[in-house]
Structure 1
Amino acid sequence: MAELDTFIQQLKDRLSIDEVVARTVALTRKGNRLWGLCPFHAEKTPSFTVKPDDGFFKCFGCGKGGDHITFVRETEGLSFPETLRLLGDLAGMDLPAGVFQGERSDPGVREMAREALAIARVAYEEALRSPEAEGAREYLKGRGVSGEMAKTFGLGWAPRERGWMGRILQQRKVTLEGAVAAGLMFEPDGGGAPKDRFWERLMFPIRDSGGRTLGFSARYLPGSFAQEKGMGKYVNSPEGPLFPKRRILYGIDLLPQGLRDRPDLPLVLCEGNLDVVLLHQIGLVTTVAALGTAFSADHARRIKRLLDGRTAEGVPKHVVLLLDSDIAGRKAAAAAGRVLIAEGVDVRVSLLPDGADPADMITSGESAELLQRVTKSRDILEWRLQAWVQKDDFKIPAVVNRAAEEAAEWISTTLSPVLAEGWLRMASSQLGVSEQALRHMIRSDSGSPPVPQQSRGGHPSSSLNPSAEILVQNEREIVAALLSDPSAWPLYREILDFMEFSDSIAQKVFLWCKDCRKNGKMSGLELAMLAFSDDGVLAWLDEIRLLVFPDPARALERSLAALPANRERARQEARPAHSESITDADLRAMQRKITLHPDDEVL
């Protein structure tokens, strides 16, 4: 997509790398470089440097490096499209069409909607200071929310007067279409005049990682009209391009800084907006919450990216689920846990006393106990196993069987063979079920492959031998060359059309390139970064994005020529041999069409 390439280049021309980095890191100039404390690992002496003229950053302590996009994506935990959107906002540029799939609304309407949200945020904040909002202020005071914390989170008040917000937006020349797109007003199904969506409610602005307001979550007060009529406690902005609930976490705008300021704390996930505010107030500044929706894979991937940025030794890289102990809370913990585990996140659980939530405990002066519960959180499977073991009827074989089935489901969810083995031993010990029986359940019930058997050394072997590492590098070079110049494919079509790779990342991206070619779609590096959500794939794509291929077709030729020998070396060092869909004999025969230059060196 040439338009996207142009957009990225113009973005870098408008925004200097030091301007982007300085939003997060305090920089000091020394010569032609800027220095600061690295945001990716804990340090006391600056080893993080920025070269404005080159447009790159580099940390000599942890090795992290890259450009504007790399820095924002890593520090904010954003996807590639979300990173482009944030940088585009900073530069005052609109994203090219199609960067966000499904976002087809008119750019002018979107811009008007964003303006409406900014106006509404200020209006709600000012309304909270009005005489009418005394009840709301008393409520916040009674729950223990300080004025400073209310300001930090931008809390506000929507007056009871109907049409209040509509009038303000009209005065500021916001169109009705823009107000509706922002979710601040709606047109009744039966017709009639447009109405304010929020009234007589405490307002929580929902912001993205750049601090921009995306929508609102509105809570009724005790004794209000909404409560008397049995309306929902919370009303959220409607789902839409500007407010994608499955990707939004309340408090995400404060989370990256919280993780940097408190490297001793885990990331905490709770249920309610008010819980987040009060947990921040007692020092748990690494707390976020989902917005009244099921915890999604998008949420989990975002959290995983942020935790992966915590590279310093001894810094916690796990999530603590701090949820109510009622049935709903336990179900929410299990559901969120499964999603997080499936994305490779280490998950712990800290359930609260019966009938309590974090806000209640803080209000009643139990902050110290709450902090202790977070510190002493338990492994999520250990928590689930204990729940089964403590049942009165646990000794009944059918109950044990159900517990074992759940344990098998958890074990089959994890991406880590080491964690799977640990959980297998734990479940076997606590449930009194043999490891063999659990392995059988995992194979037959979940459809997953069996948990890896232990090697003689006691752990599954996961390291690559040197020849295998060279093969992976060779395979990735082939894919990188195809991404750099998709037009090179026809030159080696007889080889590429039947090729498979041993490296999972190379294979995933190669199949995507192949599918694009088959369906007549455009491919290329930037488009690949828009297509994938897998963090491993994205990390590799981000690395090669910064490389320069003077002659991609020549690089592809050399890499294909090196492949048979590298495959053979890797096969000799590892048994059983890897099966290929196209044999090396076929490759060698096809390579008669490839002429190696005398100065070429086979890897």
Structure 2
Amino acid sequence: MDRALLKKQSTDNAVEEIKNRLDIIETVSEHIVLKKSGRNYWGLCPFHKEKTPSFSVNAEKGIYKCFGCGEGGDSISFLMKVNNTSFWETMVMLAQKFNIELPEAGVTSESSEYKKQILEINKYAAEFYKKMLLENKEAKNYLLKRGINETIIEEFSLGFAPVSADELIKKYDKDILQKIGLLSFKNRIIIPIQDEKGNFIAFGARAMADSQGPKYLNSPESPVFNKSRSLFGLYQAKDSIKELDSVILMEGYFDVISAHSHGLANVVATLGTALTEQHIRIVARYSESRRIYLAFDSDEAGVNATNRGAEIIKSAFSGLGEIRHFDENFADSTVKQDRTACEIRVITTNTGKDPDEFLREHGAEAYKELINSAPLLIDYQINRIINLNEKISSPQDKAKLGKEVIPLLSEIRNSIIRNEYIKLVAGRLSIDEESLNIEVRKNLQKVTYPQANKNGLLFKNQEEKYVLAQKNLLSLYFLNNEKFAPLCINNYIKEVELSDTHLNLIKKHIDEIIDEFNDSDKLFKELLNKLAENEEAKKVLTDLIYRVEDKKDLNFELLEQYLTDHILYLKTYQVSERQKQLRASYYADNNDDTSSELHQQKVKELISERRL
């Protein structure tokens, strides 16, 4: 076989494999937070600014559509748009990610070798460090004194880096070892960092001696390690997060390790960086209710981290519903059933100790009591503001304190819950409840909660309505109805004229393949392949899939009526447009009797055709 043809076939197979590896929910969730509602998932569109979600993802079909800006497509389309890359640039990136050869794009096994090499070196280093720990009594005792037993050492693959790295240097290139930071670790406890799949992507290193500085060293970022997208302990915690439907976010390596050693397994930590929206999106995949506990240190830096973390979480979930502002123990059944975007609680020790110290001194049961009694974010924030100013008495001080609390109260959309908090705050500050209520209402006037328009049915003129009718007709090919299979639909509309370029292209492909793919799902998948590099046509195809959803419950008679009504409308519109054109020509030729008579005759014929 011709070498060029072989190369093309190999590339086509690689593209198909890449598409099969992609999951639309995982792909989109790396960039926005999604919340399931009905059959689909919803989130804030990353392609235009909005406050309420109009971005829909269909997991079954592997597509997305924004009802706000009109963007739509499959996983490839999404990555192209969000990364501002071409089709082939996107395929190259994915081929490298999945270690798939893509010959026509110049991606071979060699081009992704560096990532594989880093992971291989890190795996070997983790095993080497663990072996060194078992042979070093001082290092092992250091961990045992911190309550870390051999089971936890094994679970987290903890290790020890000796002063000499000769064994690593003998096996691997020194420059690569230097680049990924392994030559910096000397006489330190090693804490491997794993991704969600368990790959060793980086290391943290804790000094053994107090004279060593800094106390912690971390691997630099690399092609396999990004601090903003990585969470320590997630590989060990993900199953427990799912089971308990909650996650506890801590600050340090040993906070997490100590929690796990005390039987608290749904715990993760950031890696020497502030909490990011990417971190929140990652943990949101594992907790359906998005119950997030912030368990940072109790010092001033920890308090600031808690407040920053809370704002990041609220930003990540903005538009998906309000943050929970009530405790279920005190809510009636209707409020309990009201799904919120997420629930943020704050765990504080009130002893000034970090979670690791508290657990070692007071034990797991005492910490579980803190978890069970952890206040909601709003309660924590209000209590902290008031408790720091317990001795206030002057009207000026009360007004100043009220200004700090009012924005928190204004975040509560449920008026019943908001009024209860106003009553509570007014009582604790010894101020008039109605006065506080007035100030909150003033602040609320600055806050708007617009509703998302998800129907996508508004159009500016008759021409848009005409194109919409064409889309509605073509959408029926994807009805997945036994009585209205694609071939049956084709018999109805094969003679219908289409004005839209992309709809014509889709219809042309349908005509070419319909005999082979008389199944809606298979037809759609094959069309996606045909239109792989045509983003505008894919966007239209995605629109057709979303348009057919509300027709799936119609019976045969109603579907047939729907078909005939739309076909009649299209024909009527086309005749009407031709009449307008002929009238315009008639008036343009009013000095030419012969042309005018000819145009009059054509108009009469069209009118007769319209009546038929």
| TM-score, normalising length: structure 1 | 0.55
Aligned to 2:220: 238
What aligned pairs does 1:199-218 form with structure 2 within 5 A after superposition?
199-218=186-205
Aligned to 1:437: 439
Instruction: Confirm whether residue 113 of structure 1 aligns to residue 118 of structure 2.
Output: yes
Structure that is richer in helix per residue? 2
Give aligned pairs, total: 401
Return the alpha-carbon distance in structure 1 between the equivalents of residues 216 and 356 of structure 2. Answer: 16
8 Å CA contact 2:10, 2:102 repeated in 1: no
Q: CA deviation at 1:237?
A: 1.0
Q: For residue 129 of structure 1, give the secondary structure of its aligned residue in structure 2.
A: helix
Aligned to 1:292: 272
Q: For residue 214 of structure 2, give the secondary structure of its aligned residue in structure 1.
A: coil
Q: CA deviation at 1:377?
A: 1.1
Q: CA deviation at 1:128?
A: 0.3
Return the alpha-carbon distance in structure 1 between the equivalents of residues 149 and 303 of structure 2. Answer: 30
Q: Deviation per CA, 1:522-568, whole angstroms, max 9, x where unpaired?
A: xxxxxxxxxxxxxxxxxxxxx999866479759949979x99xx9xx
Are residues 556 and 301 of structure 1, via their aligned partners in 2, closer, same or farther at CA, if it must alter by over 3 Å? closer
Are residues 333 and 556 of structure 1, via their aligned partners in 2, closer, same or farther at CA, if it must alter by over 3 Å? closer
Aligned to 1:356: 353
Return the alpha-carbon distance in structure 2 between the equivalents of residues 123 and 323 of structure 1. Answer: 32
Q: Deviation per CA, 1:47-103, whole angstroms, max 9, x where unpaired?
A: xxxxxxxxxxxxxxxxx9759999xxxxxxxx9899x999989975379999xxxxx
Q: Deviation per CA, 1:429-453, whole angstroms, max 9, x where unpaired?
A: 4155634423544666xxxx3368x
Correspondent of 1:426 among 421, 424, 434:
421
Return the alpha-carbon distance in structure 1 between the equivalents of residues 375 and 104 of structure 2. Answer: 46
Q: CA deviation at 1:180?
A: 3.0
Return the alpha-carbon distance in structure 2 between the equivalents of residues 85 and 400 of structure 1. Answer: 61
AA aligned opposite 2:230: I
8 Å CA contact 2:169, 2:177 repeated in 1: no
Return the alpha-carbon distance in structure 2 between the equivalents of residues 111 and 214 of structure 1. Answer: 11
Return the alpha-carbon distance in structure 2 between the equivalents of residues 469 and 176 of structure 1. Answer: 58
Aligned to 1:10: 17
Q: CA deviation at 1:242?
A: 2.3
8 Å CA contact 1:86, 1:210 repeated in 2: no
Are residues 370 and 4 of structure 1, via their aligned partners in 2, closer, same or farther at CA, if it must alter by over 3 Å? farther
Q: For residue 295 of structure 2, give the secondary structure of its aligned residue in structure 1.
A: strand
8 Å CA contact 1:116, 1:178 repeated in 2: no
Instruction: Confirm whether residue 146 of structure 1 aligns to residue 149 of structure 2.
Output: yes
Return the alpha-carbon distance in structure 1 between the equivalents of residues 418 and 197 of structure 2. Answer: 39
Are residues 389 and 4 of structure 1, via their aligned partners in 2, closer, same or farther at CA, if it must alter by over 3 Å? farther
Are residues 91 and 324 of structure 1, via their aligned partners in 2, closer, same or farther at CA, if it must alter by over 3 Å? closer
Q: Deviation per CA, 1:333-371, whole angstroms, max 9, x where unpaired?
A: 111111112222321011013222222222224321101
Q: Deviation per CA, 1:234-271, whole angstroms, max 9, x where unpaired?
A: 111113332211111111112221224x33x6211112
Aligned to 1:599: none
Are residues 386 and 422 of structure 1, via their aligned partners in 2, closer, same or farther at CA, if it must alter by over 3 Å? same
Q: Deviation per CA, 1:296-325, whole angstroms, max 9, x where unpaired?
A: 111112122222xx3xxxxx5411112222
What aligned pairs does 1:78-477 form with structure 2 within 5 A after superposition?
92-93=99-100, 107-130=112-135, 133-159=136-162, 161=163, 164-165=164-165, 167-172=166-171, 174-184=172-182, 196-221=183-208, 224=209, 227-228=210-211, 231-260=213-242, 262-263=243-244, 266-307=246-287, 310=288, 317-344=290-317, 345-390=342-387, 391-397=389-395, 399-401=397-399, 403-407=401-405, 410=408, 418=413, 422=417, 426=421, 429-431=424-426, 434-441=436-443, 449-450=447-448, 468=455
Are residues 463 and 555 of structure 1, via their aligned partners in 2, closer, same or farther at CA, if it must alter by over 3 Å? closer
Are residues 183 and 555 of structure 1, via their aligned partners in 2, closer, same or farther at CA, if it must alter by over 3 Å? closer
Return the alpha-carbon distance in structure 2 between the equivalents of residues 147 and 559 of structure 1. Answer: 56
- Aligned residues with identical type, % of pairs: 20
Q: For residue 351 of structure 1, give the secondary structure of its aligned residue in structure 2.
A: coil
Aligned to 1:522: none
8 Å CA contact 2:230, 2:271 repeated in 1: yes
Q: CA deviation at 1:420?
A: 8.9
Are residues 423 and 151 of structure 1, via their aligned partners in 2, closer, same or farther at CA, if it must alter by over 3 Å? farther
Return the alpha-carbon distance in structure 2 between the equivalents of residues 411 and 97 of structure 1. Answer: 59
8 Å CA contact 1:218, 1:234 repeated in 2: yes
Return the alpha-carbon distance in structure 1 between the equivalents of residues 60 and 286 of structure 2. Answer: 17
8 Å CA contact 1:420, 1:451 repeated in 2: no
Return the alpha-carbon distance in structure 2 between the equivalents of residues 235 and 171 of structure 1. Answer: 23
* Structure 1 vs Structure 2 CA RMSD: 5.2
8 Å CA contact 1:217, 1:236 repeated in 2: yes
Are residues 559 and 270 of structure 1, via their aligned partners in 2, closer, same or farther at CA, if it must alter by over 3 Å? closer
Q: Deviation per CA, 1:16-38, whole angstroms, max 9, x where unpaired?
A: 99xxxxxxxxxxxxxxxxxxxxx
Return the alpha-carbon distance in structure 1 between the equivalents of residues 224 and 577 of structure 2. Answer: 54
Return the alpha-carbon distance in structure 1 between the equivalents of residues 522 and 271 of structure 2. Answer: 36
Return the alpha-carbon distance in structure 2 between the equivalents of residues 279 and 3 of structure 1. Answer: 49
Are residues 342 and 209 of structure 1, via their aligned partners in 2, closer, same or farther at CA, if it must alter by over 3 Å? same
Q: Deviation per CA, 1:369-410, whole angstroms, max 9, x where unpaired?
A: 101111111111111101112223444455545545544555
AA aligned opposite 2:207: Y
Are residues 94 and 558 of structure 1, via their aligned partners in 2, closer, same or farther at CA, if it must alter by over 3 Å? closer
8 Å CA contact 2:130, 2:159 repeated in 1: yes
8 Å CA contact 1:318, 1:347 repeated in 2: yes
8 Å CA contact 1:207, 1:250 repeated in 2: yes
Q: CA deviation at 1:183?
A: 2.4
Return the alpha-carbon distance in structure 2 between the equivalents of residues 554 and 592 of structure 1. Answer: 28
Aligned to 1:570: none
Q: Which runs of 5+ in 1 are unaligned?
A: 18-39, 42-63, 71-78, 99-104, 185-195, 311-315, 453-461, 482-490, 496-542, 567-587, 594-603
Return the alpha-carbon distance in structure 2 between the equivalents of residues 171 and 592 of structure 1. Answer: 80
Q: Which has the higher contact order (CA 8 A, sep 6+)?
A: 2
Are residues 246 and 469 of structure 1, via their aligned partners in 2, closer, same or farther at CA, if it must alter by over 3 Å? same
Return the alpha-carbon distance in structure 1 between the equivalents of residues 155 and 357 of structure 2. Answer: 21
8 Å CA contact 1:411, 1:442 repeated in 2: no
Q: CA deviation at 1:124?
A: 0.7
Q: For residue 215 of structure 1, give the secondary structure of its aligned residue in structure 2.
A: strand
AA aligned opposite 1:110: K
Q: For residue 285 of structure 2, give the secondary structure of its aligned residue in structure 1.
A: helix
AA aligned opposite 2:200: T
8 Å CA contact 1:218, 1:235 repeated in 2: yes
Return the alpha-carbon distance in structure 2 between the equivalents of residues 359 and 295 of structure 1. Answer: 19
AA aligned opposite 2:347: S
Return the alpha-carbon distance in structure 2 between the equivalents of residues 341 and 16 of structure 1. Answer: 28
Return the alpha-carbon distance in structure 2 between the equivalents of residues 303 and 147 of structure 1. Answer: 28
Q: CA deviation at 1:12?
A: 7.3
8 Å CA contact 1:158, 1:199 repeated in 2: yes
